[in-house]
Structure 1
Amino acid sequence: MMPQQMVAAAVLVLGAAGGAVAGQDEKFQLTDTVYQQKSLYRNILVVEGEGYRCMKFGRFHARQTCIQIGQPQRLVLNYTKGLLAALYLAEQAPRRVLILGLGGGVMPMALRMLDADMEIDTVELDPAVVKVAQSHFSYQEDARLRTHVQDARVFVRQQQRRGNQYDLVLIDAFDRDYIPEHLLTREFLQQVRSLLTPTGVLAANTFAAGALARHEAATYQAVFDQLYQLDMDGGNRILLARRDARPSLPDVQRYAQAWDKRLALFRLLSADLLPRLALQPRAVGVKVLTDQYSPSNLLLP
């Protein structure tokens, strides 16, 4: 249990291969189901092919997590690469990380490789997902990397009551087929914002097109005002915000270049990601999602 008034740094990010952000890593076929487990929430599949291993929630669902077997520093899915751009908005390296949504644990393990001293908290509703991440995706806890098996909104409220704060928060709890609607409302994002330090950064993996994208933008803007967006191939976009003043594009470019040496571990270059970064256009005439109005799943593409 974290003590009162602990200042935490929450990060949600992944890396990309230089020159490969445009989607080359995702072009492989999965032919063999090597493990299957039904939990209270979903049918978890581990599938392999062409040297890759992925987690899926059902045979016809999108890939949740993928790794290249034997190459833990290779971050495969495009959205995970884009999430690393959260670091480009940070004035200094985060000291603790909060990740809402575990999947195969690729992101916390990448952050552990990036900084062995970083404090990382992951929150995952399904204990079966945690077990599969450990058994098939090399997810390992340690003294500074903890897993909390509970609802993400409950966890956020607990940290809010304790006065805890984070430097960087990552939300990666959605997929193309289902959204926990209570994690995409103005009230929830207000709670998340209250956990951020004054220069704290939020990064969220969201959708790039369709009606839901406009409602997402309006909801995030209602809480964080100005946002950056990073469009990634595969239908994902990353929304990036800071609790207080949004850094200017020149500042973002300067921070990003400072990260290039460290992120070379993942073969990620700011020159690959920054051309995709832009201000999120203002959502006009679009209803904000709230605890009283949250038809997110009806808005899916």
Structure 2
Amino acid sequence: MRNCLLFLAVLFSVAAHSNVVHEERSLYRNIIVDETRDLRCLKFNTKSSQTSQSCMYKNDPDKLVFNYTKLTFASLLVTDDPKNVLVIGLGGGTLSNVIHELYPAAKIHNVEIDPAVLKVARDYFNFIETDNVTSSVQDGRIFIKRAAIKKQKYDWIILDAFNGDYIPEHLLTKEFFEEVQSVLADGGVIAANTFSSSKLYEHESATYHAVFGDFINVSRANRSNRIILAGIKTIPTQAQLNERINALAPRLKKYDVDIKAISTYMQSTKNNRDWPADTKVLTDQYSPANLLNF
């Protein structure tokens, strides 16, 4: 009982110090930007939940807040010096900003379905746009279909779309992953932000494996996030990993990313397949919404 009262006291304390600085109803959702002391967050308020999509420390905007954004940089241990980066799902633009600082010559294209989210990223989260950092207001799947027709290729594709409840269903199917695979450059990697705690865990794993073969899970014990690294043709040797860790560690430190620790969270499915062999693959005909409740 005492622990419950303590939790409620903390909750009410945080709420009391929370200040909504922007709120609007977009075409897709309710959007809130609020501040709690030094922390500014973009939130999607849906019928079933209110979830933080992106946060930044106002006094230290370089420092990453979320565990999953830090884990995403495990990608750089399996691909080298990305030149063309595609990000599906903008949020506050945090990932794009860090990648741009790390690789200023890289071309980064962000795709966001909701124009209101893009405006909020610009107005409240220091989203950087340059000749090399561009954005489109478009459904991510449509963008990739058109990129495939144009024979465009990307060596780092980040799938980070979220509708407030879960990843949109049409961005979870075998057909979609095949479309993503068609725009992945040789030597590139796909990094997908998803969850360890979802009831879709096994279905997602089976679907990624059906398209890409063995992939790498990046997740910490007792944490809900996982990053899937897929499309990797050649797994680096331990010597190559160590070399990349040593090169990246000082560059990522300012963002509070401990790449050496993150490397220990990486586990290939080659010898660690943790879903039943008969798990049903998600398709455009089979992607049931009831499984999204996790």
TM-score by length of 2: 0.87
1:92-111 alignment, distance < 5 Å? 92-111=80-99
Task: Name the counterpart of 2:106.
Answer: 118
Q: CA deviation at 1:258?
A: 2.6
The superposition leaves residues 225-277 of structure 1 with CA deviations (integer Å, 9 ceiling, x where unpaired) of 11111114651100012342344555444433332232223232322212211
Cα distance in 2 for residues equivalent to 1:62 and 1:83: 19
Q: Which has the larger radius of gyration?
A: 2
Task: Name the counterpart of 2:67.
Answer: 78
CA contact (8 A) 1:33 1:45 kept: yes
Task: Name the counterpart of 1:244.
Answer: 233
Task: Name the counterpart of 1:286.
Answer: 279
> Aligned letter for 1:48?
E
2:249 to 260, 282, 287: 260
> Aligned letter for 2:78?
L
Cα distance in 2 for residues equivalent to 1:213 and 1:253: 30
Q: CA deviation at 1:296?
A: 4.7
Q: CA deviation at 1:176?
A: 6.3
| 1:44 paired to 2:31 | yes
> Aligned letter for 2:281?
V
* Aligned Cα root-mean-square deviation (Å): 1.9
- Comparing both chains, which one has the higher relative contact order based on Cα–Cα distances under 8 Å and sequence gaps of 6 or more? 1
Task: Name the counterpart of 1:55.
Answer: 42
The superposition leaves residues 179-218 of structure 1 with CA deviations (integer Å, 9 ceiling, x where unpaired) of 3111000110011111111211010001102420111100
Where does the alignment leave 5 or more consecutive residues of structure 2 unmatched? 1-12
1:230 to 209, 218, 225: 218
> Aligned letter for 2:66?
L
1:185-200 alignment, distance < 5 Å? 185-200=173-188
> Aligned letter for 1:61?
Q
Task: Name the counterpart of 2:4.
Answer: none
**What secondary structure does 2:92 align onto?**
coil
TM-score by length of 1: 0.85
Task: Name the counterpart of 2:291.
Answer: 298
> Aligned letter for 1:190?
E
CA contact (8 A) 1:178 1:297 kept: no
Paired residues in the alignment total 273
CA contact (8 A) 2:88 2:110 kept: yes
> Aligned letter for 1:70?
N
Cα distance in 2 for residues equivalent to 1:259 and 1:104: 24
Cα distance in 2 for residues equivalent to 1:272 and 1:156: 33
Q: CA deviation at 1:298?
A: 2.7
Q: Percent identity?
A: 39
Where does the alignment leave 5 or more consecutive residues of structure 1 unmatched? 1-27
Which moves more between the two structures, 198-207 or 289-298? Answer: 289-298
Cα distance in 1 for residues equivalent to 2:152 and 2:43: 33
In structure 2, relative to structure 1, the CA distance for the partners of 1:237 and 1:189 (3 Å cut) is: same
Cα distance in 1 for residues equivalent to 2:111 and 2:164: 20
